[in-house]
Amino acid sequence: MTTASVRTTSPKRRLGDVVFANLTRTAGALILVSLAGVAIFLTSEGLPAFGAKAGELQGHDNFLAYVAPLVFGTILAAVIALVIATPLALGVALAVSHYAPRRIATAIGYVIDLLAAVPSVVYGLWGIGFLGPKLIPIYQWLDEHLGFIPLFKGPASPTGRTIFTVGIVLAIMVLPIITAITREIFSQTPRLNEEAALALGATRWEMVRLSVLPYGRSGIVSAAMLGLGRALGETMAVALVLSASGVVTFNLISSTNPSTIAANIALSFPDSTGVARNALVASGLVLFVITFIVNFAARAVVARYEPGRKK
């Protein structure tokens, strides 16, 4: 059939198809419009902060000096969370997809999914009321014995409300999303690849290393990045747990901690006016951009690994 003949016989347009096509188009466009709306709001409201003078920004000279410690804290907390959560999530995902008996695996899967359904304020309460106090002796121990490492320089926080506690709470919060995605990828590993490894005399772990992990590599990266995105933006738990003082420090266990952008907005917004309020919105814009970059980076990484895989 030639192209011309296709053109001459215009296909019958069915009402259902037209309606459905337009519905999906609208839904797609709506996403773009709302994203653009958020970006425009953040930019226009935040703009005055970029020209703010000293004295208007909680004692900072300019907006950059104001936002830099917040960016630092945000990234530090998210990275701690990711460092803890990713290996744990991979372990859980592997256990569920390749090790545990089916019935137990399903149960573990449900419990992990349930973790995702717990509201973040509950995690915050748990962090401040339970986890923090329980961690105090550990922080003291770290301070005493590993104090020569800058990360544990101390003095140990007497309340346990440190950036490290926040990192642990965030790790538990991002665990479900990383686990869910990697579990899905791992269980899709082609049987043929797994059997190739087993037939060569691979043990279970060697089989995982030879076939499951390489197959899931890009999935692991994108899962971790999605987790990172969630950890970056998490507000409530951080605002509750962290005793923040806006410093820049790698000391993870002391009572002076860098704050995060999201927590700072949540805590300061109700009491701020004028330029201070603009500055908060502008810091929101910075967070927005960081999240964007993380997502693009994730896509780039995934795309880089993609050619090695059979499509």
C-alpha distances in angstroms, 135 versus 116, 161, 169? 23, 9, 12
Which residue is it, tokens 């001459």? 8
By rule CB under 8 A, what count of residues binds other proteins?
A: 22
CB of 186 to other proteins, least distance (A): 15
Q: Does the footprint of other proteins cover residue 103 (CB under 8 A)? A: no
Whether 112 and 180 have beta carbons less than 8 Å apart is answered as: yes
Q: Does the footprint of other proteins cover residue 100 (CB under 8 A)? A: no
Q: Does the footprint of other proteins cover residue 197 (CB under 8 A)? A: yes
E strand spans, the chain = none
CB of 307 to other proteins, least distance (A): 8
Cα 109 to Cα 165: distance, rounded to the nearest angstrom: 25
For residue 108, which of 97, 99, 96, 123 has the smallest C-alpha distance? 96
- Residue among 79, 100, 210, 247 that touches other proteins (CB under 8 A): 210
- Residue among 95, 151, 202, 301 that touches other proteins (CB under 8 A): 202
Omega of the bond leading into 270 within 30 degrees of 0 (cis)? no
CB of 102 to other proteins, least distance (A): 8
The residues in 49-68 that bind other proteins, with binding defined as CB under 8 A, are: none
Stretch that binds other proteins, among 6-14, 66-74, 191-199, 268-276 (CB under 8 A): 191-199
For residue 218, which of 293, 292, 311, 290 has the smallest C-alpha distance? 311
Of 19 and 303, CB closest to other proteins:
303
Contact set with other proteins (CB under 8 A): 102, 190, 192-193, 195-203, 206, 210-211, 214-215, 217, 308-310
